[in-house]
Amino acid sequence: MTKETPVEGKELEGQVAVVTGGARGIGLAIAQALAEGGARVALVDVDGPEAMASAAQLPSTGHKGYAGDVTESREVVSVVERVEAELGPVAILVNNAGITRDNLLLRMTEEEWDLVLAVNLKGAFNTTKAVTRGMMKRRQGAIINIASVIGLMGNAGQTNYAASKAGLLGFTKSVARELASRGVRCNAIAPGFIKTAMTDKLSPDVVEGLKSQIPMGTLGEPHHVANVVRFLAGPGAAYITGQVIAVDGGMVM
């Protein structure tokens, strides 16, 4: 992935980054990119042992994995306190934790709706609130929310997911307005169809159907998202806040 990373050097040296849902997939790719930039990374995931194992595989040393459920505010506060005690003040937060529970609206249960909104939207609220006071005091911080093109365009069978990701975009812009004067930036990334363990399970016909919706004609890779996170976390994005960057091969223009 190093050859794909647009910024050379260690522009994030000395900074501590928290990546939720960081044990695998896009979250792990994000953690790798931030580690390559010099950051010490805390991987927070409901699967604590996997987060710890993934942290041990990151470039360089000083990274740690933590068990944490982003839907539980007290648990989030406790994890952030542990991260800051063990690694240092949090300068970068990546709200990546997310789930799907797809179903048509008429068949969707309250549980499917509530769980997706709890993880994808309330989770970002909990983690952002937990790090914000410290960032404001230090007058430095970068918050990056991983949304989705589905939050921009909608998708049949994903009313809960679309609502959660659209909500995350509004949350991003409001946080950016609240914190800009304190030196804290907040941006969002809206990935399109990215190759993950979930897409690997799709049939070739379905994958070809997805590709037909993408002007560039191919699915994205996790490092395509991770590289944009690294940029938004770094000094090159010092004058960027409240923005949504689609990493989607041209699906949404």
**DSSP run (H or E) holding 146:** strand 141-146
Quick count: other Cβ atoms within 10 Å of Cβ 9?
Answer: 10
* Sign (positive or negative) of CA dihedral 149, 151, 157, 161: positive
Structure tokens at 72: 């539980």
Q: Which residues are catalytic?
A: 161
Count how many Cα atoms sit within 13 Å of the Cα of residue 28 in the half-sphere of its side chain.
16
The whole-angstrom separation of Cα 187 and Cα 233 is 9
Q: Is there a contact between 27 and 104 (Cβ–Cβ < 8 Å)? A: no
Q: Is there a contact between 201 and 159 (Cβ–Cβ < 8 Å)? A: no
